[in-house]
Amino acid sequence: MSNKTIEIDRHVPLPKGETRNLPLYPWLTMKVGDSFAVVGKISASAARGSFRRYQKLGQIPENLKAIQRTMDDEGPGHVRLWLVEK
């Protein structure tokens, strides 16, 4: 353990953030059997999280699921996600 402490900064303005009007992942426009690729396990995890969120909101039917596979033949760290029926 370290004896270092983290200093608190006060009155630092928050920079204006980007807003996205379009979803980052194409779940809502996909049909069963469609897929898309991302690079990295963190991106794949975020894509699966967005899928679960859409299902929780009722925008993706419960009879569908997302499947992912590592696709080293597409490039290092490539992960492909498919929309499939349960």
Give ∠ CA 60-51-85 in degrees, rounded to 5.
55
The residues, any chain, with a CB within 8 Å of residue 65's CB and separated by 6 or more, are: 83, 84, 85, 86
Number of alpha carbons in the 13 Å side-chain half-sphere of residue 77: 8
User: Edge-to-edge, what's the strand order for the sheet holding 78-85?
Assistant: 35-39, 78-85, 64-70
Percent of residues, the chain, with pLDDT higher than 70: 92
**Each residue's pLDDT tens digit, 35-72:** 999 999 889 999 999 999 999 999 999 999 999 999 99
Q: How many CB atoms lie within 10 A of CB 3?
A: 4
